């Protein structure tokens, strides 16, 4: 590791790939094998789609990237960090680099839209209220919800809640954006709009991985499609 | 910058915990009142005890030794003895009560005038009432004085009038120990009350905690508001306890004054002193912090995103 050459290769493999799975197997307690021997990589700045039937292992794959689950075998690297060897204490730092969008939004219902979107900034240690407000408004503006910052999530439609989730995911300018069925509950126009948003984020350098069934919509992008079937990539 | 951020993080948790509590004001206030009552019990008993000790402390000064002399000691011998004893450094004052004077007083006060007149001779002995010097008023020195007085050939019987005060002190000492044991037990109860409240708080905020962790919050970030909540419960519980004890002392003040007036005493109940109040508030706060610390460490770990 000490020669300049090996450092170069180390940096290359570290920063070239945002996500790298090497022979990853995930078996849940009880014996169910969700992923078997999965290998793929997602380059920095790349955008890709992940498809597959329900139960094919898509959710498990996302959980491995976000450290919710650990691999049974194989290696998961995210942004140069080996997640299999990561101690509990270091998990939050990894998650802060990832913007996550969930099918069920996962918004905090007791807090306003503004507070929900501001949460990643507060967690990251930003305390300047003006700066927080500026960035929250910018994120909300991007998803077209600027006027709704004082409302509570339950007063919004499902599509609006989804977009609040997107605003929260991007407010801290993460290097990696993960989306789990982000268009699942949206009508076609809105779905296209949301997908377009991801395209825009990708264009400014964000690595994007989207789980989606919407083949019609996916095919409009010239992005790689990873297809999972029975726990393996095909 | 790091230090500034540290304080800002705490400031955030400080206000956030207040906000959380104001969302469920009734249950928060109820928890505080329960803690207040729990703390008020030992604090109140302590205040009463302290008052009793103060009251009885005044009685130490009246420590005096009565030396009843043998019958054959006449008034001249009595005066000589008093003079001799007066030279001792541990004696401040000697009052002599010759047998005749004692009989006269007894005759006046008891009303047994006729019965006493029927006696052939004076049944009462002469008495020396001795007040120990200021530097010799502690129990050991008084004991020593009493022993040496007993050795006098003229002395028949020596009685230490302070003994009952000492016994009272011993009883108060037992009561004090009892209050201390009670305080420890009730402190444990506060720990459990706060712990349980925090546990419920963690449970009712499960989703929010899981989401916050998913976005990348550290354990410390999630834990902090709960620790502050524990501090609030403990501190405000302590303030409530202070109020309750003060109210109780205020209510007791008038009847106590009446009783002490009947005994020709100017004794009045003392309020909690600053030191006790500080102790009460600090122990409340620390118990709150410790209770939430114990609960939150155990229960937060169980809440993970899925």
DSSP string covering A167-191:
HHHHTT--SEEEEESTTTTS-HHHH
- For residue B80, which phi and psi values (nearest 5 degrees)? -60, -45
Residues of B in contact with A89 (CB under 8 A): 218-219
Residue-wise pLDDT tens digits, A179-212 = 998 887 778 888 888 888 899 999 999 999 999 8
Q: Is B8 on the interface with A (CB under 8 A)?
A: yes
Cα B303 to the chain's mean position, in Å?
45
- Greater pLDDT, B74 or A101: A101
Return d(Cα B280, Cα B45) in angstroms, integer. Answer: 13
Provide the pLDDT confidence category of residue B61 given band limits of 50, 70 and 90.
Answer: low
CB B149 within 8 A of CB B91: no
Which of the residue ranges A156-160, B27-31, B134-138, B183-187 would you say has the lowest mean pLDDT?
A: B134-138
Q: Is A96 on the interface with B (CB under 8 A)?
A: yes
Return d(Cα B124, Cα B131) in angstroms, integer. Answer: 21
3-state SS, residue B109:
helix
B230/chain A closest Cα distance in angstroms: 21
Query: Left, alpha or beta for A158 (phi > 0: left; psi -120 to 50: alpha)?
Result: alpha
Q: How far is CA B45 from CA B42, B244, B245, in A?
A: 5, 12, 9
Report the half-sphere exposure of B299 (CA within 13 A, side-chain side): 22
CB A136 within 8 A of CB A169: no
How many contacts (CB atoms, under 8 Å) link A and B? 56
CB contact under 8 A, B216 and A94: yes
Residue in chain A nearest B3 by alpha carbon? A125
A181: Cβ contacts below 8 Å, ≥ 6 apart:
A103, A211, A212, A213
CB contact under 8 A, B304 and A68: yes
CA gyration radius, chain B: 32
Closest CA to B228 of B7, B8, B15: B15
Residue-wise pLDDT tens digits, B146-190 = 888 888 888 888 887 767 777 887 888 899 899 999 999 999 999
Residue in chain A nearest B306 by alpha carbon? A68
CB contact under 8 A, A92 and B218: yes
B12: Cβ contacts below 8 Å, ≥ 6 apart:
A122, A127
**ipTM (interface pTM):** 0.87
CB contact under 8 A, B216 and A127: no
Residues of B in contact with A106 (CB under 8 A): 211, 214
Closest CA to A84 of A93, A92, A74: A74
CA gyration radius, chain A: 18
Residue in chain A nearest B23 by alpha carbon? A110
Provide the pLDDT confidence category of residue A1 given band limits of 50, 70 and 90.
Answer: very low
CB contact under 8 A, A92 and B212: no
Residue-wise pLDDT tens digits, B254-271 = 898 888 888 777 778 888
Residue in chain B nearest A95 by alpha carbon? B216
Residue in chain A nearest B208 by alpha carbon? A108
CB contact under 8 A, A127 and B5: yes
CB B136 within 8 A of CB B142: yes
Return d(Cα A203, Cα A200) in angstroms, integer. Answer: 5
- Greater pLDDT, B244 or A186: B244
Provide the pLDDT confidence category of residue A22 given band limits of 50, 70 and 90.
Answer: very high
Residues of A in contact with B218 (CB under 8 A): 89, 92, 123
Mean of pLDDT values over B111-123: 78
Q: Residue A95 belongs to a domain with what CATH number?
A: 3.40.50.300
- pLDDT value, residue B290: 95
State chain B's mean pLDDT as an integer. 85
Residue in chain A nearest B219 by alpha carbon? A89
B207/chain A closest Cα distance in angstroms: 8
B2/chain A closest Cα distance in angstroms: 10
- For residue A41, which phi and psi values (nearest 5 degrees)? -140, 150
Mean of pLDDT values over A169-175: 93
Residues of A in contact with B306 (CB under 8 A): 68
Return d(Cα A51, Cα A218) in angstroms, integer. Answer: 10
Q: For an interface test with B, which of A106, A109, A112, A179 has the most B Cβ atoms less than 10 Å from its Cβ?
A: A106
Full residue range of the structural domain in which residue A88 is found: 4-233
- H or E element that contains A42: strand A33-43
pTM: 0.74
A96/chain B closest Cα distance in angstroms: 5
pLDDT-above-70 percentage for chain B: 96
CB B300 within 8 A of CB B219: yes
- The number of folded domains in chain A is 1
DSSP single-letter state for residue A221: S
- For residue A92, which phi and psi values (nearest 5 degrees)? -55, -40
Burial of B236 (0-12, 13-18, 19+ CB in 10 A): buried
């Amino acid at each position: 590791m000490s020669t300049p050459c090996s450092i170069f290769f180390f940096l290359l493999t570290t920063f070239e790939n945002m996500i790298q799975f090497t022979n990853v197997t995930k078996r849940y307690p009880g014996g169910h094998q969700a992923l078997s021997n999965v290998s793929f990589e997602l380059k920095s700045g790349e955008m890709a789609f992940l498809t597959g039937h329900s139960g094919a292992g898509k959710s498990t794959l996302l959980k491995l990237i976000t450290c919710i689950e650990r691999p049974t075998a194989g290696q998961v690297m995210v942004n140069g960090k080996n997640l299999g060897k990561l101690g509990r204490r270091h998990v939050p730092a990894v998650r802060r680099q990832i913007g996550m969008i969930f099918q069920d939004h996962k918004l905090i219902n007791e807090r306003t839209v503004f507070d929900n979107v501001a949460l990643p900034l507060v967690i990251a240690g930003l305390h300047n209220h003006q700066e927080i407000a500026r960035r929250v408004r910018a994120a909300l503006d991007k998803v077209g919800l600027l006027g709704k910052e004082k409302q509570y999530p339950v007063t919004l439609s499902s599509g609006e809640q989804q977009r609040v989730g997107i605003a929260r995911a991007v407010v801290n300018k993460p290097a990696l954006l993960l989306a789990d069925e982000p268009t699942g509950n949206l009508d076609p126009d809105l779905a296209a709009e949301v997908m377009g948003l991801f395209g825009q984020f990708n264009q400014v350098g964000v690595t994007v991985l989207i789980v989606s069934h919407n083949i019609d919509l996916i095919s409009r992008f010239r992005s790689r499609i990873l297809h999972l079937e029975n726990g393996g990539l095909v | 910058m790091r230090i500034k951020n540290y304080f800002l993080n705490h400031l955030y948790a400080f206000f956030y915990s207040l906000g959380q509590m104001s969302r469920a004001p009734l249950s928060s206030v109820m928890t505080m009142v329960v803690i207040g009552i729990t703390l008020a019990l030992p604090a109140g008993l302590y205040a009463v005890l302290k008052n009793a000790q103060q009251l009885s402390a005044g009685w130490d000064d009246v420590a005096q030794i009565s030396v009843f002399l043998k019958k054959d000691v006449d008034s001249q011998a009595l005066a000589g003895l008093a003079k001799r004893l007066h030279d001792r450094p541990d004696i401040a004052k000697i009052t002599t009560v010759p047998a005749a004077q004692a009989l006269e007083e007894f005759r006046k006060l008891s009303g047994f005038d006729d019965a006493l007149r029927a006696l052939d001779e004076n049944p009462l002995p002469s008495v020396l009432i001795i007040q120990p010097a200021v530097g010799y008023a502690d129990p050991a020195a008084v004991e020593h004085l009493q022993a040496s007085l007993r050795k006098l050939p003229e002395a028949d019987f020596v009685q230490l009038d302070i003994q009952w005060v000492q016994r009272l002190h011993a009883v108060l000492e037992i009561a004090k120990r009892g209050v201390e044991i009670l305080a420890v037990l009730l402190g444990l109860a506060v720990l459990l009350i706060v712990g349980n409240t925090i546990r419920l708080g963690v449970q009712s905020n499960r989703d929010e905690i899981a989401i916050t962790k998913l976005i990348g919050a550290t354990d410390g970030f999630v834990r902090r508001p709960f620790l502050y909540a524990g501090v609030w419960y403990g501190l405000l519980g302590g303030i409530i306890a202070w109020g309750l004890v003060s109210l109780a002392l205020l209510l007791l003040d008038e009847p106590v004054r009446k009783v002490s007036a009947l005994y020709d005493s100017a004794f009045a109940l003392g309020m909690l002193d600053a030191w006790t109040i500080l102790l009460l508030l600090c122990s409340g706060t620390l118990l709150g912090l410790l209770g939430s610390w114990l609960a939150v460490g155990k229960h937060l770990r169980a809440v993970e995103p899925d």
